[in-house]
Amino acid sequence: MRWCCETLKGWFDEAGNRGLAVVVERSTDGSGVFLLQYRSVEMDDAGPREHPRPLTLAGETGIRFCPWCGVELPVFYSKELDAMERPGFRLRP
C-alpha cells in the first residue's frame, strides 16, 4: 500500500491501542471516513473504577486532510479503502 506519509501509517497501525490512532470506515455512500481517535485505556480495560472526576475513556473526530502532510485523505486513498477499512475499531454511542 502507498501511504501519504510515514506518520499517518504509524498512527493507522496503532488502531485499538491506548493513545492516538487513525481509523478508517466507509460511509453509507461508500466513501471513506477517516477518524482521528484516542483511547485513555486499552480496548479490553474496564477503565478506572475509583476516579475523583469524570474521565473520557475514548473519543474520535473526523478528518478530511492528513494532519501531518496535508493530503486530502478521501481522494488519496480512494482506491485503498477496502484494505484500510477496520470497522471494529470505530467508537459507537
- The one-digit pLDDT tens for each residue of the chain (93 residues) are 899 999 999 999 999 888 999 999 988 888 889 999 998 776 666 666 666 666 677 889 999 999 999 999 999 999 999 999 987 888 775
Contact 65, 92 (CB under 8 A): no
Residue 35 falls inside a structural domain: yes
Residue 79 falls inside a structural domain: yes
Residue 58 falls inside a structural domain: no
Q: Is 60 helix (H, G, I), strand (E, B) or coil?
A: strand
Residue 12 falls inside a structural domain: yes
Predicted pLDDT of residue 51: 62
Residue 83 falls inside a structural domain: yes
Residue 18 domain boundaries: 6-46+63-89
Q: Is 71 helix (H, G, I), strand (E, B) or coil?
A: coil
Residue 72 falls inside a structural domain: yes
pTM: 0.81
Count structural domains, the chain. 1
